[in-house]
Amino acid sequence: MKTDSIMAAPMAPYQADITSRRIVLPVPYLVFLGDARSEAELKTAFGLRDWASENCLGQHRMESYVPDIGLPDMSFSAAHQAGARSLLIGLATDGGKLPEHWWPCLREAVNSGLSIVSGMHDSLDSVPGLSDLAKTKGCSLIDIRHWQPTLTVGTGQRRPGKRLLTVGTDCAIGKKYTALAITRAMKARAQAATFRATGQTGIMLAGSGVPIDSIISDFVSGAAEALSPANAADHWDIIEGQGALCHPAYAAVSLGLLHGSQPDRIVVCHQHGRKTLDGFPDYPVPSLAEAIEINLTMAKLTNPQVSCAGISLNTSAMAPRDRQDLLDLTSEQHGVPCFDPMISSLDALLDFIL
C-alpha cells in the first residue's frame, strides 16, 4: 500500500528526522514463516499479504505444521530464480529474538542471493557470519527496528492538523489494518490523509515511520509528536496504535503513543470472541466500554477534546448475517459506528469523523 507524503508546517530538526526518512526494500519478497505454530505469530506475514500482495512472491516454512498464508511454498534458491530479491521475516517471536535454530536458514537464504528484511529486536548482524556472507554475495541486511532518530521528550504542546489513533483491547487485534483501511477510505473521498506507521509491518508497507516499541521510554511521546507533526487544518494523520492500555506487558508503549499523538479521535479495535489476552490467559480482555473509558481518560491529558469515533471488530469467523447483527448491536450499544475494516463499508465512520 502506498501512502502520500504531505507537506507539513515548519518542523524542528528532530521532527524532520522521522517524517522525511524513506525506506526502499528489495522486492519482491519470499516471506519467511519460520516455525510459527499459530496465525497470531504471523501478523507481519499476513499484513504484507493483505496490503502488499504484489510484493509477495512466495512463502518459506521450516516445518509442515506452520500455518499456510496462501502463498506458494518455495525454497530459497527457487525463489531467487523466480525473481525474489529478499527474504522478509514474517513472524514475531517473544522479545523479538532471532532464534539460533533459524541461523542456518538465514545463511542459506543469503547464500542463494536473497537480501534479508527483519523487524526483530535482535539485529541481523548478531547472527554469526551473516554480515560477512551478505557482503560477499552483494546482499543487504535490513533491520527495520534498528533506527534511533534524534528525539526530545514530549512537549504536550498542541499542533495544527487532525489526528486519529487506533487503540485496542489487546495486541494483534487489528489496529494496523484499521488504520490502513481508514486511510484508504479517506483518500477515496479525496480527503487529505497520511498513514503513520509505528510498527515494523506498517513501516514495511508505508516505507516510513518509527518503530515505537524500540524507542527509549522517556522519548516515546516525543517520537509520537514528531511522527504526526503540525499540518494543514483539514489534514488527517491516521496513526497505527500499538499494544493496549489494559495489557500487563505493553501498556507503557500504548500510553506514550496516546499522549504524544494527541488524537482528536480514537477508534477502538476488538476481536469478537476473544476472552483473555493473547498469551496471557490469567488476564481477561476488557470490555469495549472499559477500553473506551480508559483510553479517553488517558488521552484527555494532552487533548481534552478527544472522542471515540468508532469501533473496529474482527468478525472474519462469523457468518455474514450474524456479523451484521453484531455490528449493528455494538453500534447501538456504544453510540458510534461499528465496522469490520476488511469487510464493511467505512462510509458511516467517515461521515461521523468528518
Domains of the chain with CATH codes: 13-18+151-353 (3.40.50.300), 29-143 (3.40.50.720)
- Estimate to the nearest angstrom the gap between the alpha carbon of 72 and the chain centroid: 24
Output the nine-digit C-alpha cell for 283. Answer: 488476564
**Smallest Cα–Cα separation from 269: which of 178, 163, 164?**
178
pLDDT of amino acid 17: 55
pLDDT 10s digits, 8-60: 233 333 344 566 677 889 999 999 999 999 988 999 999 999 999 999 999 99
pLDDT of amino acid 20: 63
Between residues 94 and 207, the one the model is more confident about: 207
Give the mean model confidence (pLDDT) for residues 226-246.
95
Q: What percent of the chain has pLDDT over 90?
A: 80
Q: Which residue reads 524542528 in cell numbers?
A: 12
CA distances (Å), 122 to each of 8, 96, 142, 220, in order? 34, 6, 12, 20
Residue 146: is its pLDDT beyond 80? no
- Estimate to the nearest angstrom the gap between the alpha carbon of 257 and the chain centroid: 13
Length of the chain: 354
| N-term to C-term CA, the chain | 23
CA distances (Å), 168 to each of 285, 289, 290, 314, in order? 10, 12, 11, 11
Residue 322: is its pLDDT beyond 70? yes
Residue 3: is its pLDDT beyond 60? no
Q: Do 231 and 161 meet the contact criterion of CB atoms below 8 Å apart?
A: yes
Confidence bin at 2 (pLDDT 50/70/90): very low
Between residues 140 and 154, the one the model is more confident about: 140
Other beta carbons within 10 angstroms of residue 214's beta carbon come to: 20
Q: Spell 263-281 as b/e; 16+ CB within 10 A means b.
A: bbbbbbbbbbeeeebbeee
How, if at all, do strands 338-339 and 307-314 pair? Answer: parallel
CA distances (Å), 211 to each of 120, 184, 274, 289, 330, in order? 10, 22, 27, 29, 32
Q: Spell 288-319 as b/e; 16+ CB within 10 A means b.
A: beebbebbbebbeebbeebbbbbbbbbbeebe
Q: Do 132 and 108 meet the contact criterion of CB atoms below 8 Å apart?
A: no
Considering the entire predicted model, what is its pTM? 0.89
pLDDT of amino acid 316: 82
Give the mean model confidence (pLDDT) for residues 319-332.
93
Give the mean model confidence (pLDDT) for residues 74-85.
97
| DSSP secondary structure, 65-83, as one string | TSPP-SS-B--HHHHHHTT
pLDDT of amino acid 297: 98
Q: Do 67 and 53 meet the contact criterion of CB atoms below 8 Å apart?
A: no
Give the mean model confidence (pLDDT) for residues 180-196.
97
pLDDT of amino acid 19: 64
Average pLDDT, the chain: 91
Other beta carbons within 10 angstroms of residue 191's beta carbon come to: 16
Between residues 17 and 235, the one the model is more confident about: 235
d(C-alpha 87, C-alpha 113), whole Å? 10
44 φ, ψ (degrees, to nearest 5): -65, -45
pLDDT 10s digits, 293-311: 999 999 999 999 999 999 9
Give the mean model confidence (pLDDT) for residues 69-96.
94
Output the nine-digit C-alpha cell for 64. Answer: 509442515
